Amino acid sequence: MAKDPGIESDIRARGQKVTERRGDRIFSGSARGAGSFILLILAAVSAFLLAEGFPAIVADPAEIGLFDGDNFWQWVGPLVFGTLWAAALALLIAFPLAIGVALFISHYAPRRIAEPLGYLVDLLAAVPSVVYGLWGGAVLAPALQPSYTWLAENLSFIPFFAGPASGTGRTILTAAIVLAVMVLPIITAVSREVFLQTPVLYEEASLALGSTKWEMIRTVVLPVGRGGIISAAMLGLGRALGETLAVAMVLSATGIVTVNLISSGNPSTIAANVALSFPEAYGLNVNALIASGLVLFAITLVVNSIARWIVNRRADFSGAN
Amino acid sequence: MTLTSPLAQRSSNAFASGKLQGYVPGVILLTSLALSWALFSAFRPADAEYEVNLIVVVLAAIAIFAVLLWGVSYRVEGRRRAVDRLASLLVSFAFLVALTPLISLVITVLTNGLVRFDADFFTLSMRNVVGEGGGAAHAMIGTLIMTLTAGAISVPIGLLTSIYIVEYGAGKRLTRWITFFVDVMTGIPSIVAGLFAYSLFEILLGPGTRVGVSGSAALTVLMIPIVVRSSEEMLRLVPNELREASFALGVPKWLTILKVVLPTSIAGITTGVMLAIARVIGETAPLLIAAGFSNDFNFNLFQDRMQSLPNFVYYSYVAQGSNPEAYLDRAWAGALTLILIVMVLNIGARLIARFFAPKTSR
């Protein structure tokens, strides 16, 4: 830990020199250098993205084939909508499930199997996104297609299920479900930790007053962990916003703005659009895609900052001592 | 409890009165399964094609079970216990629902992946392959080279940074900046990291450059924050008494860090590094942007495009050639290989953490 400043200033006051060994100087210098290098990398990320993205924003929109006659903001607007829409749907599906799973592991499952179950959920988080994409496109989409047909036939008066149902099942709802499967382990892992940190005395006090288990959870565990739960949800949202491949491989996107969940015309997301268009892009189109990446970066930055702010507001972090 | 129900057997045991007997929920569960099955069989459409969907039957049975259990419990045990039982049921149901995709994923990847999980897959490239045959050896080599390069850059930087944060920079402004920006970096979407690496090498080497080292740069950006985070946590776990004992013996600070702090936390740091590698080895989007795609072996980081295993899976899936079956089989085999690599890294990391952890207390 840092040198006690009191001793150092004492020595200085007595006119003695604080000697620093050469090894110390080299070591602390390289450590500080590495830390500063990280700041440099981040500055470089912003600078290079700005330098490459800026030309597309100021260029004549007619020169950029991707824009199809619109200007940059008209082009990126529907993509931003798609990104937020898919992520919000994913969170809507994953959040209640994740809280349930976290509660199951922390308070319901027998102690002996709770830890292996936690590992299992962590493994779910480790599966690469391309595998989820493959599974979503080849297994989940065909499996869900009949239910979309049913929804379109029976519930088409609700705007979300207006139909006509997609014949392949590659809809924004399928993509959102795949995203939900991907963010679920993240939300679960964080909220599980939070639930386990509930002071046992509070729980026992609640039970001693005659609460049932659920009443104990509702009145003690959930309120104590509220900040953690919210930040877990935000972290999951950040992941869902930036997820690329799972969406690109599952969704058949047409880039329109619609709340229809089950038709074959779907909004696209920024990340998926970059992945699909980038390999064939040339000239200013590349710059346009990079600029849209910058927009995505800004969105995730805002979401993550809010999450961090909520965590830090309640955190009293204890390190060694 | 004045009301007596046949389900709440009058018992001489005061603690059991007014409660459901242990076997009751099981009986209700079986009843609702039977009921659901009967309902779906009785009301199915006339055409012979129609088959009763098992998943729908089970879901309906669970719904019936929830209602029946709530009703019976409400009658016998009162509202509060009924709600409690319903909550337990919902929580367990949530867990089962969450587990379903994992099981489905493992089963499909195993059954489809084993078809082409053969020696050819691990020795051949895709050069001059249009239909069947071929392999992903070039992609595995590419993944290995790019991931190791990314690791070789980000592990020293990440480790030194965490040493600075924990050992040197406590309370300093630079530390606050680094911690804040490491947080920001953690949130960078992987595709943005790829766009960054692409922009960097486009400016350095000219437009349209796609080389292996660019992919490594993208992975580095993603890996550094993970390494910093996990090593920082591990260094903080080292008890201060160890450092103080070393200082008291007159050992300089840098030697204390090298000989006392790092050896104590090395198991945890290794675990963190392995998990970080497991995290970036499956990244597709950044490599798709920065390193491109190739059908051929490429051992040179600085020249030509480099294929990676995740990208191999992606391209086999989106660009199915004249023989889609062969491309899909290769995609699944690639997915299986990826999952195996990630599992081995994860399990290895946990084993290291368990067996090499320092014994801090007796």
How far apart, in whole angstroms, are the C-alpha atoms of residue B193 and residue B222? 7
Which among B50, B81, B111 is the end of a domain?
A: B111
User: What is the distance in angstroms between the CA of the first residue and the CA of the last residue of chain A?
Assistant: 10
Residues B316 and B173 in one domain: yes
Residues B190 and B263 in one domain: yes
Are A129 and B221 in contact (CB < 8 Å)? no
Q: Give the number of domains in chain B.
A: 2
Measured in angstroms, the CA of B224 and the nearest CA of chain A are apart by 8
> Which residues of chain B lie closer than 8 angstroms to A241, CB-CB?
189
The answer to whether residue B1 sits within a structural domain is no
Nearest to B162, CA basis, from B257, B240, B267: B257
> Which residues of chain A lie closer than 8 angstroms to B195, CB-CB?
49, 52, 274, 289-290, 293
The answer to whether residue B3 sits within a structural domain is no
Cα B113–chain centre separation: 19
Extract the tokens encoding B254.
Answer: 């840098």
Residues B128 and B44 in one domain: no
A217 to chain B, any CB pair closer than 8 A? The answer is yes
Query: At residue B333, what is the residue type?
Result: A
Domain that holds residue B59: 10-111
Extract the tokens encoding A74.
Answer: 């008209």
A245 closest CB neighbour out of B181, B292, B314: B314
Are A274 and B195 in contact (CB < 8 Å)? yes
Cα B197–chain centre separation: 25
B174 closest CB neighbour out of A35, A131, A133: A35
Query: What pLDDT, on a 0 to 100 scale, did the predictor assign at position A317?
Result: 42
Are B282 and A131 in contact (CB < 8 Å)? yes
pLDDT tens profile A125-153: 888 889 998 898 888 888 888 888 878 77
DSSP character string of A144-191: HHHHHHHHHHHSTTSGGG-SPBPSS--SHHHHHHHHHHHHHHHHHHHH
SS3 content of chain B, % helix, strand, coil (to 5): 75, 0, 25
The answer to whether residue B116 sits within a structural domain is no
The model's confidence at residue B13, banded by pLDDT at 50, 70 and 90, is low
Q: Name A239's Cβ contacts closer than 8 Å, sequence gap at least 6.
A: A182, A183, A186
pLDDT above 50 for A319: no
How far apart, in whole angstroms, are the C-alpha atoms of residue B350 and residue B356? 10
pLDDT above 50 for B223: yes
DSSP character string of B46-62: SSTT----HHHHHHHHH
* Alpha-helix runs per DSSP H in A2-128: 5-13, 22-58, 72-103, 111-126
What global pTM score does this model have?
A: 0.84
Residues B99 and B133 in one domain: no
Q: Which DSSP helix (H) or strand (E) runs through B351?
A: helix B324-355
Extract the tokens encoding B250.
Answer: 């007159």
Residues B63 and B161 in one domain: no
> Which residues of chain B lie closer than 8 angstroms to A242, CB-CB?
187-192
- Can you tell me the mean pLDDT for A287-305? 88
Extract the tokens encoding A174.
Answer: 């399928």
Mutating which of B179, B199, B317 best tests the A interface, going by the most A Cβ atoms within 10 A?
B199
How far apart, in whole angstroms, are the C-alpha atoms of residue B291 and residue B194? 9
Residues B171 and B90 in one domain: no
Extract the tokens encoding A156.
Answer: 């088409």
Query: What pLDDT, on a 0 to 100 scale, did the predictor assign at position A180?
Result: 92
Q: What percent of chain B has pLDDT over 70?
A: 91
* CATH number reported for the structural domain that contains residue B340 in this entry: 1.10.3720.10
The torsion defined by the Cα of A282, A284, A289 and A293, in degrees rounded to 10, comes to 130
How far apart, in whole angstroms, are the C-alpha atoms of residue A255 and residue A135? 23
pLDDT above 80 for B264: yes
The answer to whether residue B4 sits within a structural domain is no
Measured in angstroms, the CA of A32 and the nearest CA of chain B are apart by 6
Residues B107 and B126 in one domain: no
Relative orientation angle of helices A226-242 and B190-205, to the nearest 10 degrees: 50
pLDDT above 70 for A9: no
3-state secondary structure at position B135: coil
A49 closest CB neighbour out of B102, B196, B342: B196
Which among B69, B86, B111 is the end of a domain?
A: B111
Residues B242 and B328 in one domain: yes
Which among B111, B137, B163 is the end of a domain?
A: B111
| Average pLDDT of chain A to the nearest whole number | 82
Residues B97 and B139 in one domain: no
Bridge partners for A165 per DSSP: A263
pLDDT tens profile A271-285: 888 888 888 877 788
- Can you tell me the mean pLDDT for A105-121? 84
The model's confidence at residue A1, banded by pLDDT at 50, 70 and 90, is very low
Q: Name A143's Cβ contacts closer than 8 Å, sequence gap at least 6.
A: A169
* CB B227 within 8 Å of CB B277: no
| Average pLDDT of chain B to the nearest whole number | 83
